[in-house]
Amino acid sequence: MIVSPCISICKSDPVTGYCYGCARKTEEKISWRNPETTDEWKKKNLIELKKRMSGWQLEAFLKSYDNKIKEGVSLFKKSLK
């Protein structure tokens, strides 16, 4: 199972349509929730998402996503506890 790249920063850029947190477009978010979407597609999509990010956005995503994989919660949600 591939963990969703959502890191709970759910706001999309009005120009690109990419989410500021995970860099996904709405269609990609829908695909991630579809039970028929393969892990292979998800792995490729994660690579694409990381290519869309750079600098502090990529660093923040990687830290939060890693925490979500290890602890089951993004750093943003962890900070709310």
Q: Would you kindly state where each structural domain of the chain is located, as residue ranges?
A: 9-72
End-to-end CA distance of the chain: 26
Query: pLDDT digit string (tens) for 33-49?
Result: 999 999 999 999 999 99
- Whats the size of the chain, residue-wise? 81
pLDDT of 81 above 80? no
pLDDT of 79 above 90? no
3-class DSSP assignment, residue 34: coil
pLDDT of 58 above 80? yes
Distance CA 23, CA 50 (A): 8
Q: What is the mean pLDDT of residues 40-59?
A: 97
